[in-house]
Amino acid sequence: MIPIQHLTKKIEDNLTTLDSLSKDTEDLSILIEEELTEDTKQLEDLKLQTYLSGEYDKNNCILEIHSGAGGTEACDWANMLLRMYQRYLSKNHYKVEEVDRQLGEEVGIKSVCLKVSGKNAYGYLKHEKGIHRLVRISPFDAGKRRHTSFAAVEVTPEIDKSVEVDIQDKDLKIDIYRSSGPGGQGVNTTDSAVRVTHLPTGIVVTCQNERSQIQNKEHCLEILRSKLLKLELDKKNETINNMKQGQKTIAFGSGKRSYVMCPYTLVKDNESGYETSNVDKVLDGQLDELIKFGLKV
């Protein structure tokens, strides 16, 4: 018996038992009511799975964050988003591997690329793709003025190696450079970081988390394969994609979600319509309600 049928029968049996109980069985009634509450929660979770039926929803994914308009502010905002997703992924027991990180000139990050592994990673995170906008009093402004910062989030499903994607050597530009880092013994002292540019599409993939140049190149090509297949699928479905060719400008006039910390507090998802005034809760990685709401739209 499949889970949904088993759970439905269990709920129906408990309801029947509750109807037949006498007043002398109050304790048993309480126990069944508690079980019914738990069963109802499980039923809601099973209903949510019906929204994760896309071809690649069950796959691992590549999550990227890129700072946009706003300079130092934007780099700090990109770093705040990284922290938000890291906390969400940790709470939900996903495995996260950092593939590449480009540090900001003063603070934060210019970009970061993460490989997220776990059940339905792409299905849950795919709707995070888009431009994320922050409005706050800048901690870097001596005049304590309000600033607006932008960052782009890209989510790509990891594609199985058995899926064929035609990549010609002549279409690739491969650059080798020295890995960057915060300093100390962890800094890579060899030219092992790899940047791969796919010339026909302009897609750029970088990797510097491995000490081996060969391993970094393999990581880049794996991510590039996934991006090219996703780009092709988007074209076939005539959908808007946020990769290199279809990415909106990371600035005013575009937005997937707004995080307002001044003059009021509000997180609003412009695609699903979800709103909450608890900005700190969201930025602390409590995204479950927001993500589930987005899946049902």
Q: Tens digit of pLDDT per residue, the chain (297 long)? A: 456 676 677 777 766 766 666 555 666 667 767 777 777 777 777 777 788 888 899 999 999 999 997 789 999 999 999 999 999 999 999 999 999 999 998 899 999 999 999 999 999 999 999 999 999 999 988 888 899 999 999 999 998 777 778 889 899 999 998 876 544 344 455 678 899 999 999 999 999 888 788 889 988 999 999 999 888 877 766 544 444 444 555 655 558 999 999 999 999 999 999 999 999 999 999 999 999 988 887
pLDDT value at residue 155: 95
At a CB cut-off of 8 Å and minimum separation 6, what does 286 contact? 88, 91
Measured CA distances, 108 to 79, 97, 105, 278, 297 (Å)? 5, 19, 8, 23, 33
pLDDT value at residue 245: 43
Amino acid code (one letter) for 285: G
Report H helices in the chain. 3-20, 26-49, 72-91, 121-125, 213-236, 279-283, 288-295
Residues 53 and 132 sit within 8 Å (Cβ to Cβ): no
pLDDT value at residue 249: 56
The DSSP bridge partners found for residue 195 are 175, 206
Residue pointed to by tokens 């003059």 = 263
Cis geometry, peptide bond prior to residue 263 (ω within 30 degrees of 0):
yes
pLDDT value at residue 70: 72
Give this prediction's pTM: 0.78
The DSSP bridge partners found for residue 111 are 66, 102
Residue pointed to by tokens 């069963």 = 39
